[in-house]
Amino acid sequence: MNNENIKIISKEILSDNWYTLNKITFEYRKKDGSIETQNREAYDRGNGATILLYNKAQQTVILTRQFRLPTYINGNSDGMLIETCAGLLDKDNPETAIKRETEEETGYQIKDVKKVFEAYMSPGSVTEILYFFVAEYTKDMKVSDGGGHHDEQENIEVLETGFSEALNMIGTGEIKDGKTIMLLQYAQINHLLG
């Protein structure tokens, strides 16, 4: 943290039940030199990684479907969200973490992944930076049914769908997850599937 225009005054934990919600009071020096005090809340859940698995020969991608409470309470009728595989780093480097999450969630054991970019997904309130990966998959990489880690209360459905169908699902609203849209569009722009 090296912004000379910002001075943290205090940090108060409001909740540490699931992850950590902090209230931060800071001084902000504006362009005219005046200083104003601001209060913000920031949710710290750690950093994460996500991946789009794709198969050129079959023209398919692997996605997941699971219940997401925040979408449900915000009007997503059944709370089910179609997403790319993703998870928290949990003190691993992004590449190690995404390989672990891929096997846990999808059942595919992948060796070669390519990091394509990183992004803050909700920088107004969440500290998380997300590392984005792509990787080719084949049927012989399937080592389990996937579905997520039992201890993490994950109930994940693994979906193999046509790439063009997945792109169409963005337009129909069946896919509303930001990271998934970004990776599908990355694959389209960069002609990953031909």
SS3 27: strand
- Give a three-class secondary structure readout of 90-148: CCCCHHHHHHHHHHHHHCECCCCCEEEEEEECCCCCECCEEEEEEEECCHHHECCCCCC
Q: Which helix (H) or strand (E) holds 178?
A: helix 178-189
* CA gap 184, 194 in Å, rounded: 13
Question: What residues form the annotated binding site?
Answer: 86, 101, 105, 154
Q: How far apart are CA 60 and CA 161, in angstroms?
A: 5
Backbone φ, ψ for residue 91 (5° rounding):
70, 0
Known binding-site residues for Mg(2+) equal 86, 101, 105, 154
- DSSP, collapsed to helix, strand or coil, labels residue 30 as coil
Residue 33 makes CB contacts below 8 A (sequence gap 6+) with none
User: Tokens standing for 41?
Assistant: 């809340």
